[in-house]
Amino acid sequence: MSRVVWVLNGPNLGRLGSREPDVYGTASYDDLVAACKSAGERLGLAVDVRQTDDEATYVHWLHEAADGGVDALVLNPAAWTHTSVAVRDAAAALAAPYVEVHLSNPLSREEFRHVSYTASHATGVIAGFGLDSYRLALHALADRLATGSS
């Protein structure tokens, strides 16, 4: 049976393509979903890709994932990365491994982006590769799940 991986995207990521293309590129959110789905198919993962601008919804998705049935997660908490203790606490309670991803490299941008509240419990962080950040994260998680390491 396929392993289940959730890809959870935070605020403003639904506007990819039109949003600051100089920073985030011209790929749309639909392109992001398609890239994750096709990587999932190649890797034998059942990938569910979601996006919300509502912090409570994001936290509830993390609670759902913590309750079971999700083998691994890819999190792009977007702006909440740098602001949200609530998202950080919900991510910290996950038993499943997660990789934090960013399209851009926050460390090469404004100073307020240099802090990640949400990476503290991540297995790893992949940033700066556009949609490839997600593909790389799914590859890394597929390897981890196959070898049983967390």
List interacting residues with ligand DQA (CB under 6 A): 12, 76, 78-79, 81, 102-104, 106, 113
d(CA 126, CA 133): 6
For residue 126, the minimal CB distance to ligand DQA (Å) is: 10
If DSSP codes are grouped into helix, strand and coil, which group holds residue 64? helix
Torsion from C-alpha of 136, 139, 144, 146, nearest 10 degrees: 180
Count other C-beta atoms under 10 Å from residue 120's C-beta.
10
Nearer to ligand DQA, 11 or 46 (CB): 11
Catalytic residue (choose from 24, 58, 98, 117): 24
Catalytic residue (choose from 29, 58, 102, 134): 102
For residue 25, the minimal CB distance to ligand DQA (Å) is: 10
Q: Which helix (H) or strand (E) holds 58?
A: helix 55-66
Nearer to ligand DQA, 33 or 46 (CB): 33
Nearer to ligand DQA, 138 or 145 (CB): 138
Q: Which helix (H) or strand (E) holds 146?
A: helix 131-147
Task: Please list the active-site residues.
Answer: 24, 102
